[in-house]
């Protein structure tokens, strides 16, 4: 299973080479599948190969019509002068959020997992996600898109954001445990004693 590399790694700051479809170092369809699985596991809407230590110029992104798709050798060819400012996060920098200005509309070309070339026009969140991921593939971190003052403020509140995330994850784990317990009770016959058997997962969640 692919894992996110450390945020201090030079890999995040080093652009990977073009993916060679004439002599592929790995099956591009497997790369697409593995990156898509990792993106879902980490809870992202986009993920670049170098974020998980793969030295390939490719990222995956969730699309409205085709699910999670891989974009090999992407290149942004046009950007609108019209921009907007939105809060961004990054899987490589958990619990760090910054207001980033990006173009509202873009045009970019790429190759799919078959090596076929395409040109795509996007606006809104899709355009922002592509710009973020192309930055990754160019060795640019979203931290570099923010002012020093904004970055310092974000770093200052990062521990608070981390606590909020952990508390949320604990609540979700507790809710899942309760749901699983109720499902098991509905599925299993009564043991005849009228006494419920203990559920260690729920107990541990309550204690945390």
Catalytic residue ranges: 133
Q: How far is residue 89's CA from residue 100's CA, in Å, rounded to a whole number?
A: 10
For helices 148-187 and 200-207, the axis angle rounded to 10 degrees is 150
Q: If you search the block for the tokens 């110029």, which residue do you land on?
A: 57
* Distance, CA of 181 to CA of 196 (rounded, Å): 11
Compute CA distances 172 → 27, 125, 160, 177, whole Å. Answer: 37, 26, 18, 9
DSSP 112: -
Q: Are 138 and 111 in contact (CB under 8 A)?
A: no
Extract the runs of DSSP E, i.e. beta strands, from the chain.
46-48, 58-63, 67-79, 83-88, 98-103, 105-111, 117-123
DSSP state of 117: E
């Amino acid at each position: 299973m692919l894992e996110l590399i450390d945020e201090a790694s030079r890999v995040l700051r080093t652009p990977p080479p073009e993916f060679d479809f004439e002599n592929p170092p790995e099956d591009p369809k497997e790369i697409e599948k593995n990156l898509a699985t990792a993106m879902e596991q980490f809870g992202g809407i986009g993920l670049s190969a170098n974020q998980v230590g793969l030295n390939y110029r490719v990222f995956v992104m969730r699309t409205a019509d085709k699910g999670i798709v891989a974009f090999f050798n992407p290149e942004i060819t046009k950007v609108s002068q019209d921009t907007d400012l939105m809060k961004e996060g990054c899987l490589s920098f958990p619990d760090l959020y910054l207001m980033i200005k990006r173009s509202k509309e873009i045009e970019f070309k790429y190759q799919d997992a078959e090596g076929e070339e395409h040109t795509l026009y996007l606006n809104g969140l899709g355009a922002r996600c592509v710009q973020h991921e192309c930055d990754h593939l160019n060795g640019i971190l979203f931290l570099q898109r923010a002012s020093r003052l904004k970055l310092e403020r974000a770093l200052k509140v990062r521990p608070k954001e981390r606590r909020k995330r952990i508390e949320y994850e604990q609540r979700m784990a507790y809710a899942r445990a309760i749901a699983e317990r109720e499902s098991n009770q509905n599925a299993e016959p009564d043991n005849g004693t009228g006494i419920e058997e203990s559920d260690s997962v729920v107990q541990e969640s309550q204690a945390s």
